[in-house]
Structure 1
Amino acid sequence: MNWFKQRILDNSTLLKFLLVGVLNTMVGLGSIFILYNTLHFNYWISTSLGNILGIICSYILNKSFTFQSKKSANKTIWKFILVSIVCYLFSYYLGHLFNIFMHTNDLGSKNKLIENTSIFVASVLYTLCNYIGHKYFTFKKD
């Protein structure tokens, strides 16, 4: 726990990452909900496109502001994309399983509420997974 507190919680990059995350959330999650609820795209298309927009915004802001990385884009962008894809698949698959669980156990009488909740839960997991991946892999200090 001490390692976690010292490395994760007491680090100013976490606060910067969360601030950037607010903007990413407005871009990415906002896009997801518009695509899903207004334009009626399916779950996977909505979450994929929304996260692509969020990833672009996130890369630019996290490289320059959060982690202040001087590494070239050639060295970091592929890592950023890899971490983002792995976190996306992991997080949104768990969100999808949550959605299935709620419907299977007849707890999904309010389909849109359950589906939107699963998207929100998945986005929280996605944020945590991304922070750890980008801090210790993508923008790791040499």
Structure 2
Amino acid sequence: MKHLLKFAMVGVLNTALGYAVIFGCMYLFGLGAVVSNVLGYAVGLVVSYSLNRSFTFRSSGARRVEAVRFVAIFLLAYLANLGVLVLSTRRFGWHEGVAQVIAGVVYFGLSFVLNKYYVFRGARVESAAADAPRES
């Protein structure tokens, strides 16, 4: 449960930072919306990976392998989010706002599970060993 809470905290911080970069690029540096969005998401992705690796899961696995997996999971979770959104609105006729929230929950849940059990899976073994009672 502590991983889930930490993952959510990183997500909130990451979202705020991503929007700060997006709006800073647009309104302070005069960049276009698309370029600003790409830069904001790029910064967010790096920060999210770094914080989830060090804070959420406390991983000491191979950085390059984890980073590639992290980006792959981000893309997979985003495609799942998009799929749920399109299916919910076009096939089932749900309200777009409701569909966005449900799609967001799917993104968050899938991203958390795959990051915990695939991207940072080595951290589970190490954190379990660190949390185990020590014999004197």
The bucket for the TM-score relative to the shorter chain is 0.5 to 0.7
Aligned residues: 112
Q: Percent identity?
A: 30
Matched, 1:131 2:112: yes
Classify the secondary structure of the residue corresponding to 2:81. Answer: helix
Q: Is the 8 A contact 1:83 1:130 kept in 2?
A: yes
Query: TM-score normalised to the size of structure 2?
Result: 0.65
- The correspondence for 2:68, drawn from 63, 70, 78, is 78
C-alpha separation in 2, matches of 1:13 and 1:123 = 19
For the residues of structure 2 that align with 1:131 and 1:80, how far apart are their CA atoms? 11
Q: Which residue of 1 aligns with 2:14?
A: 24
Equivalent of residue 118 in structure 1, options 99, 118, 127: 99
Q: C-alpha separation between the residues in 2 aligned to 1:26 and 1:117?
A: 22
Partner of 1:59: 49
Summarize deviations over 1:10-31 as a string: whole Å, max 9, x none: x311111111111133345x58
1:51: Cα distance to partner? Answer: 5.2
* CA RMSD across the alignment: 3.1
Aligned-partner residue type, residue 57 of structure 1: V
Distance 1:133 1:61 in 2: 16
Q: Tell whether 2:11 aligns with 1:12.
A: no
Q: In terms of mean alpha carbon deviation, does 71-80 or 132-141 score higher? A: 71-80
- Runs of 4+ in structure 1 off by over 2 angstroms are 24-28, 48-57, 116-121
Letter aligned with residue 14 of structure 1: L
Q: Deviations over 1:96-129 (max 9, x none)?
A: 2222246xx5x76xxxxx2x54333322211110
The two structures have a TM-score, normalised by structure 1, of 0.62
Per-residue deviation, 1:67: 0.6
Match of 2:121 in 1: 140
Q: Which residue of 2 aligns with 1:68?
A: 58
- Aligned partners of 2:68, 2:52: CA distance in 1, in Å? 14
Distance in 2 between residues matched to 1:84 and 1:55, nearest whole Å: 8
Unpaired runs of at least 5, structure 2: 24-31, 126-136
Mapped to 2, the partners of 1:16 and 1:55 lie a distance apart of 16
In the alignment, residue 136 of structure 1 is paired with which amino acid? Y
